[in-house]
């Protein structure tokens, strides 16, 4: 006699576990640009809007690019334990609102966010099951030119970002994947990130995020 199928087992197999995907890499490598291109693919992803106390750059929109707050408000959020991770990045506060991530994961969606490399290290410690992707340039000249062409930096902030890159590269081992964002081949980098998400959902032992 054949045993009846075990329904809870099948439920487990077909119910995807949401992923927490962390995109990191040096300043100016193209993290935001890659995420904007990924948004256009209309995948069931929640794109986290992180908070900062730096002023918006021309064209940046509150609630879309960042949640822009005052330094006092940022410090209130830290004191109230509202940040999953926060750091002073190139002189400004940046932080990941905890409630936003929890709500998105609870809805069953994969969650993706970009942070600097120290933020990725902190998230790895807080959430070892997160998927960490290091976005890298094809070579240092391309990366430097990208940062210059963005016209977002003063000589001082540019220097700070250049000094940081050497230290950031020493963290490569902590990441699960590396994706090269080649000059004028943005869609290729996006394809590779989509492939990582797809393959992560094929794991026999899914990553289980607990925050």
Write out the residues near ligand LQESDW3C by the rule CB under 6 A.
Answer: 27, 31, 50, 54, 85, 87, 89-90, 94-96, 114-116, 118-119
54 touches ligand ATP by CB under 6 A: no
Residue 186 interaction partner, one of ligand LQESDW3C, ligand ATP, none, beta carbon < 5-8 Å per kind: ligand ATP
- Report, in Å, the least distance between residue 57 CB and ligand ATP: 10
Task: Please state, in angstroms and rounded to a whole number, the distance separating the CA atoms of residues 65 and 59.
Answer: 9
> Does 119 interact with ligand ATP (rule: CB under 6 A)?
no
Question: What's the closest the beta carbon of residue 107 comes to ligand ATP, in angstroms?
Answer: 26
Phi, psi of 178 (to 5 degrees): -125, 135
C-alpha 99/C-alpha 149 separation (Å) is 35
Query: Is 30 one of the binding residues for ligand ATP (CB under 6 A)?
Result: yes
Considering CB distances under 5 to 8 angstroms, the limit depending on partner class, which of ligand ATP, ligand LQESDW3C, none binds residue 181?
ligand ATP
Per CB under 6 A, 94 contacts ligand ATP: no
Instruction: Pick what 104 binds: ligand ATP, ligand LQESDW3C, none; C-beta below 5 to 8 Å, kind-dependent.
Output: none
Residue window 147-186: x/- pattern of binding to ligand ATP, with contact defined by CB under 6 A? --xx------------------------------xxxxxx
95 binds ligand ATP (CB under 6 A): no
Smallest gap, in angstroms, from Cβ of residue 37 to ligand ATP?
9
């Amino acid at each position: 006699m054949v045993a009846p199928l075990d329904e809870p087992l099948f439920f487990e197999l077909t119910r995807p576990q949401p992923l927490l995907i962390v995109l990191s890499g040096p300043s100016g490598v193209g993290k935001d640009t890659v995420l904007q291109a990924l948004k256009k693919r209309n995948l069931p992803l929640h794109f986290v809007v992180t908070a900062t106390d730096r002023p918006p750059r021309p064209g940046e929109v509150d609630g879309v690019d960042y949640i822009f707050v005052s330094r006092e408000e940022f410090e209130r959020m830290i004191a109230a334990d509202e940040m999953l991770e926060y750091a002073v990045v190139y002189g400004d506060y940046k932080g990941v609102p905890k409630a936003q991530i929890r709500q998105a994961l609870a809805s069953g969606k994969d969650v993706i966010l970009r942070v600097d490399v120290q933020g990725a290290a902190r998230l790895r410690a807080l959430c070892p099951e997160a998927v960490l992707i290091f976005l890298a340039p094809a070579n240092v000249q391309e990366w430097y030119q990208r940062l210059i062409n963005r016209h977002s930096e003063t000589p001082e902030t540019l220097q700070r970002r250049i000094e940081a890159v050497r230290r950031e590269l020493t963290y490569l081992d902590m990441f699960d994947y590396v994706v090269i964002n080649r000059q004028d081949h943005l869609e290729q980098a996006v394809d590779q990130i989509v492939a990582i998400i797809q393959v992560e959902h094929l794991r026999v032992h899914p990553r289980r995020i607990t925050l």
